Each structure stands twice: as C-alpha cells, then as structure tokens.
Amino acid sequence: MGPDFGKGLPNVLKGIDPLLNGDLLKILDEMGHGDQLLLVDRNYPAFSAGRPVVRLGESGALRVLGALLSVFPLDAFVAHPLERMEVKDDPTLTTPVQDSALELARAAHPVALEYGVVPRHDFYRRAKDVYAVVQTLESEPYSCFILHKGVVFPEGMPEDGS
C-alpha cells in the first residue's frame, strides 16, 4: 500500500455515520457527562471561542445533528440538554432549522425535551466554556446549538437513570 492509501476516504467503521470523522469521534469520546458541545452554522465565529473546532463544511446543521445524536447522549439530568440561539431578540421566534433540530433531538432523547433559549450575546460568551465546536455549512441564520453530554448507561438500564 502506498503513502496515499486511505486518503480522502470516509471512515470505514460499522455502525458509525461516515460524517463523524476521527477527529470528531475522539472529541466526543473524551467528553464527559455535563460537558457541552457547540454546533454552529457557517457564519458563526467558531475559532473566536478558543476551543477546538471541527469543520464539517460539507453538511448542514440537521445532517450533522442527526449524526451526532447517533452516538452522543443528551443529558437527562438537566432542564435543557439542547439549547438554541435566540432569534432576533425574541425567545418565542424559531427558524425552520431550529424546529427540525428539536424534533430530531426529541426522537433521540429518552425524556420530554424543550429547548433552552440563549440570547445571542450570551451564547457567544458561553461558547468560551464549551468542550469543542462543530462548524457546519448551514446557511440559515441562528442555526447554532449547545448540546449537553449525558451519560452512557449500561445495557438494560433506563436512559433516564431511574
């Protein structure tokens, strides 16, 4: 096999979404219960938070969120394990991507789930405390989310910890 063997190929692990590259899988594996992951659109200043950034520039926010939720448990012990950036200073407004993201998360989460809403400037401040940032090619504004990592329970134990 030559030096270029495997370059440019998607990951070849069974059961792992090929969008989840080795760098991102390593970060997700290193994260512990309660750590936070930022999922942001293409306009978000991802590098300004000073946290590790994984760019998934070939995919939109919903595609990336679906891949993340296939391996990333949301925290069942906090009120809002999924938070979104507030739209135009109005916590009641949502975008189509935000609405679809909530439905994806609800399908993957073991207990009832509602968004936490974070005002835009608070969101930028909170970004400095996340474990890592995943930047997508999403073009819809306000497609920015904070995911709180939950617990991976032993097989057979309820995912809500009960």
Q: Which two tokens stand for residue 14?
A: 């069974």
Residues 6+ apart with CB under 8 A from 8: none
Q: Which residues pair with 147 in a beta bridge?
A: 37, 82
Q: What DSSP element (H or E) covers 106?
A: helix 96-108
Q: Which two tokens stand for residue 130?
A: 């996340």
Q: Which two tokens stand for residue 23?
A: 């760098």
Active site members: 33
Candidates 45, 48, 60, 70; CA nearest to 147 is 70
